[in-house]
Amino acid sequence: MFNELEERQDFIVIKGRHKKAMKCDSHSVSGSVSQRACVYSGARVVLNPIADAVHLVHGPIGCAAYTWDIRGSLSSGSELYRRSFCTDLKERDIVFGGNERLAAAIDKLVQLYAPKLIFVYATCVVGVIGDDLEAVCKAASSKYGIDVIPVQSSGFMGNKAAGYRAACDALLKLIEPVNTDNIGKSRSINYLGDFNLAAETWIISNYFRSIGIEINAVLTGDSEYAKLKKTTDACLNIVQCAGSMNYLAHKLNDLYGMPYIDVSFLGIQDTSESLRKVAAFFNDDDIILKTEEMIKSQTAKANQAIERYKHHLCGKKAAIYVGGGFKAISLLKQFREIGIDVVMIGTQNGQPHEYDTLQELADEGVIIVDDANTSELEQFILEKGADILVGGVKERFLAYKLGVAFIDHNHNRKHPLSGYEGAVNFAKEVYSTVCSPVWKYALDQGGDSAR
Amino acid sequence: MTERKNLVVNPVKTCQPLGAVLACLGIHGCMPHSHGSQGCASYLRMQLSRHFREFIPTTTSSFSEAQVVFGGSGNLKQAIRNIIHIYKPQAIGVSTTCSAETIGDDAEGIIAEMRGSGELPEDVVIFTASTPSYKGSHVTGFASMVKSAVDSIAVKGAANDKINIIPGMISPGDIREIKRLLALMGIKAIIMPDISGVLDAPMTGKLKLYQDGGTPLEEIADMANSSITFALGQEASLPAALGLEEKHGVSAEMLPLPIGIENTDRFIMELSRISGKPVPAQLEEERGRLVDMMLDAHAHWYGKKAAIYGDPDIVEGITAMAVGLGIEPLYVLTGTKSNRWEETVKTIAPNAHVINGGDLLTLKDLMKEQPVDIMLGNSHGKFLAKEMDMPLIRVGFPILDRANLQHFPVVGYSGAAWLAERIGNTLLDWKDAHVPDHMLELIM
């Protein structure tokens, strides 16, 4: 166990002991093993699923290499987004500026791939040397008659959440309607904050199709240039990953008067509630009837499937450490649906209102922590006797070394976790790791830390 | 194929700090520190975690806009104080990032200033490497950090009875194999860095920030007193060996990574020559078994064409191994530019198309003109392999889509045996999966 820093105390609360406004949304402490990513990373994960776009990293090679195919987003069409493009800045560019190199790279990309859309991402060093992305992109746009959009994502300008905003600003430029006559005229909806990890967007789109609601554009799972250009045609925005897309929904409301509602398709309860909310918006008896029918049949089917796993899982304890507060709230509910008690909840970039919700929802004694460092994670997992940790790749092996099971609820997830199918997959995934015989051997090896 | 000067598509390299962090992990009790934005540390940890499937600690200076304007010195000092206080390391290896270098932070100077003010405890060793991402690659970052650690820690004293081995960017399984060979030969060696026991640590139920493995600081100090340093691989290992030669007069000898039968022979013969010890019968036998395996399977791979890509030292070794098997390396490519490497590979495989500092789009363009039968390289090649409909043998860095490979060596006779088995039987698996039913053979 490692000593704690006093300056971290405000970032941690224990439910029941003290209700307090948690500190969050600030920089990591220098010298900590922070789990947090950067602005560029936040921007890239939001925009990356736009499949027929070129995603050009203006910076040194590392930024491009680590985010190559970073998100397991699937595309039904173009695979262009899965290539790694980089200006690979060299020392002379740092000294003399990288504008020319960037312009030349865009020329080459147009020649090689003839894209309709290029995103140019600013990295830390580009922010420091002050390359004029706006100007280079603007010149390229008019030269080729395509959208070349700068993403202002220098890594030191904040954390991942700032990157979400940078991505949303880039999206706003892209979806600005040329013709304002069609705004809100279609009876279809936009689905914000689903990235089609492991085909999740397709599952939710199917639900809407079967209750008679058409999806106009998805931001950004399995999306493409042409569809995004018509974003403002929709009459409603539904927002799932609030952390990344709330800002965009607000802006679309301000700019074009598009209404929005928050939804969550993680877990049975949230999925049903969200479908009802959207159906109610349309105030159409046929849609409402179809929605209720679907909820009834899907819930029965899912519950039956989950029952098979649930009795193996009842009484187990889970720790949550994920990127955003939205995901943490959903996971808390999902674990309850499969009979597992949540004992620790942490996020990398949760917002104050999300921490308030978590404090309300959590059971007595649950530890809630912002931007947990490695030693805190270890301490809380062991103290609370968690059987399973849910997190991202950097936490997986921490859990394994402690003899604690793990599921990836981040970009590396391999099974869809959305909707009713997702709820069943979640139970199955938890079951297949918690109940694997491997823990028997791990216990023999001294993995008693948590039991 | 069109020239591309300003655009990399699907890189075969990553940035210097990654190699620097990896080098630190091979030093016992050492905390890698990344002087830059928090995202850098996060990426390095993520990528190394995905490759090794291990917990990777790395601390960050956590830059914000203020540091970019006023400099990162305060953050680095605060970070060092916090690391010493919270994580209690024996050593800290500071690598710089592109933003830190561009704003002009002098990490070495800042540490010297802290030392001068007397605030650093005597028993914590701190060394720094300048590793901006706009120079070199992860391989040069690795080399620089190994050199920096050795330069800062090695101290001249009484001669020891050991040799130094700088093994390069190889897997924990490879280092275990090198240790086994040394033990069989009865040679005492200091291996630096040594990620075995760190990045293949056993399950114990405890999360150890500092695993039991890693080269102990005392051994690094003693490297100044060894008789010779073998640098295995020019790009990742030679700089540190030359540093020891310059500063402490320990003669440096460069050898290729002992991948394949000939490079392993050379390694063993050199060990025998400098130690005056004969090659033990057990190794002769091992070599004999390998040759026997190659005899049994040589028809399966003879004359096949290969594309080999990845980091220079490993690619050089794999190319030599392929030539020894009778496989024709048609394309040999690295993302880390090195003229010495290009010359060497052209000597090993005179008919190969050698690409010095290329990317996977270059390889694809070439393969479209003239295809090969098999690819050997990292996981990023899998899309190309699928598109071109050919098997891929995963070797090198990064491997993100297969588990446990880090535990199996590609060096030594046993590494060559494993590779030969992989190559031969993968080609047969491929044939089975692709022939029509009536052509499927039982006896192959």
Which positions in chain B touch A64 (Cβ < 8 Å)? Answer: 8, 11
What the block records as the tokens of B149 is 């650690």
- CB contact (8 A) between residue B42 and residue A400: no
Distance from CA of B112 to the nearest CA of A (A): 18
Helix/strand/coil (H, E, C) string of A161-197?
Answer: HHHHHHHHHHHHHHHCCCCHHHCCCCCCEEEEEECCE
State the ipTM, two decimals: 0.95
Which positions in chain A touch B11 (Cβ < 8 Å)? Answer: 61, 64-65, 68, 84, 86, 88
Which positions in chain A touch B86 (Cβ < 8 Å)? Answer: 2-5, 31-32, 375
d(CA B437, CA B435): 6
d(CA A340, CA A325): 19
pLDDT given at position A440: 85
Contact B43, A140 (CB under 8 A): no
Which positions in chain B touch A408 (Cβ < 8 Å)? Answer: none
Which positions in chain B touch A401 (Cβ < 8 Å)? Answer: 55, 201, 203-208
Distance from CA of A139 to the nearest CA of B (A): 17
Closest to B55 measured CA to CA, from B65, B45, B64: B45
Which positions in chain B touch A60 (Cβ < 8 Å)? Answer: 15, 98, 132-134
Sequence-distant (≥ 6) Cβ neighbours of residue B15 within 8 angstroms: A60, A61, A62, A63, A65, B98, B131, B133, B137, B138, B141
Distance from CA of A416 to the nearest CA of B (A): 19
pLDDT, one tens digit for every residue, chain B (444 residues) = 556 889 999 999 999 999 999 999 999 999 999 999 888 999 999 999 999 999 999 999 988 878 878 889 999 999 999 999 989 999 999 999 999 999 999 999 999 999 999 999 999 999 999 999 999 999 999 999 999 999 999 999 999 999 999 999 999 999 999 999 999 999 999 999 999 999 999 998 888 899 999 999 999 999 999 999 999 999 999 999 999 999 999 999 999 999 999 999 999 999 999 999 999 999 999 999 999 999 999 999 999 999 999 999 999 999 999 999 999 999 999 999 999 999 999 999 999 999 999 999 999 999 999 999 999 999 999 999 999 999 999 999 999 999 999 999 999 999 999 999 999 999 999 999 999 999 999 998
Show contacts of B400-408: CB within 8 Å, 24+ apart. Answer: B400/B50, B400/B51, B403/B53, B404/B53, B405/B171, B406/B51, B406/B52, B406/B53, B406/B171, B406/B172, B406/B173, B406/B199, B406/B200, B407/B171, B407/B172, B407/B173, B407/B200, B408/B171, B408/B173
DSSP element (H, E) containing A356: helix A352-361
Which candidate from A30, A394, A443 shows the least CB-CB separation from B46?
Answer: A394
Give the Cα-Cα-Cα angle A142, A146, A148 (nearest 5 degrees).
85
What the block records as the tokens of A377 is 């994670």
Position A6 confidence tier, pLDDT thresholds 50, 70, 90: low
Q: Does A389 touch chain B (CB under 8 A)?
A: no
Distance from CA of A303 to the nearest CA of B (A): 33
Which candidate from A84, A93, A375 shows the least CB-CB separation from B10?
Answer: A84
What the block records as the tokens of B294 is 């190659």
- CB contact (8 A) between residue B209 and residue A2: yes
Distance from CA of B231 to the nearest CA of A (A): 26
Which candidate from A91, A129, A445 shows the least CB-CB separation from B204?
Answer: A445
CA-nearest residue to A156 within chain B is: B64
- CB contact (8 A) between residue A445 and residue B203: yes
Contact B83, B61 (CB under 8 A): no
Which candidate from A83, A375, A392 shows the least CB-CB separation from B9?
Answer: A83
CA distances from A110 to A64, A226, A228 (A): 19, 18, 20
- CB contact (8 A) between residue B7 and residue A62: no
Sequence-distant (≥ 6) Cβ neighbours of residue A181 within 8 angstroms: none
Give the Cα-Cα-Cα angle A72, A319, A437 (nearest 5 degrees).
80
Which domains occur in chain A, in start order? 6-25+297-444 (3.40.50.1980), 39-174 (3.40.50.1980), 180-294 (3.40.50.1980)
Statement: residue A20 has pLDDT above 70? no
Distance from CA of A444 to the nearest CA of B (A): 9
Q: Does A448 touch chain B (CB under 8 A)?
A: yes
CA-nearest residue to B201 within chain A is: A401
Per residue in A280-310, pLDDT (tens digit) is 999 999 999 999 999 999 999 999 999 999 9
Closest to A51 measured CA to CA, from A31, A25, A73, A20: A73
d(CA B156, CA B137): 31
Interface test with A, best of B5, B7, B401 (most A CBs within 10 A): B7
Give the Cα-Cα-Cα angle B430, B436, B438 (nearest 5 degrees).
120
Closest to B99 measured CA to CA, from B119, B69, B129, B143: B69
**A215-220 and A147-151 as β-strands: parallel, antiparallel, unpaired?**
unpaired
d(CA B46, CA A66): 8
Distance from CA of A144 to the nearest CA of B (A): 18
pLDDT given at position A326: 83
CA distances from B140 to A62, B19, B313, B443 (A): 13, 7, 11, 47
Which positions in chain A touch B1 (Cβ < 8 Å)? Answer: none
d(CA B326, CA B298): 8
Q: For residue A297, report the phi and psi dihedrals to the nearest 5 degrees.
A: -70, -40
Question: DSSP class of residue A146?
Answer: S
Instruction: State the Cα torsion B198-B202-B204-B207 to the nearest 10°.
Output: 30
Mean pLDDT of the region A419-446: 90
Contact A200, A418 (CB under 8 A): yes
Across chain A, mean pLDDT equals 90
Which candidate from B13, B80, B134 shows the least CB-CB separation from A91?
Answer: B134
Per residue in A138-149, pLDDT (tens digit) is 999 999 999 999
- CB contact (8 A) between residue B40 and residue A104: no
Which candidate from B6, B38, B67 shows the least CB-CB separation from A87?
Answer: B6
Q: Which amino acid is at A329?
A: I
Which domains occur in chain B, in start order? 16-153 (3.40.50.1980), 163-277 (3.40.50.1980), 282-438 (3.40.50.1980)
Which candidate from A30, A127, A446 shows the least CB-CB separation from B204?
Answer: A446
Distance from CA of A101 to the nearest CA of B (A): 6
CA distances from B113 to A202, A314, A416, B128 (A): 58, 57, 53, 13
Statement: residue A447 has pLDDT above 70? no
**For residue B407, how far is the Cα from the chain centroid?**
14
> Strand (E) positions, B181-250?
189-191, 228-232
Closest to B209 measured CA to CA, from A407, A447, A370, A32: A32
Query: Cα(first)–Cα(last) distance of chain A, in Å?
Result: 17
**For residue A208, how far is the Cα from the chain centroid?**
21
Statement: residue A448 has pLDDT above 60? no
Which positions in chain A touch B10 (Cβ < 8 Å)? Answer: 68, 83-84
- CB contact (8 A) between residue A124 and residue B83: no
Sequence-distant (≥ 6) Cβ neighbours of residue B433 within 8 angstroms: none
Statement: residue A2 has pLDDT above 60? no
d(CA B214, CA B212): 7
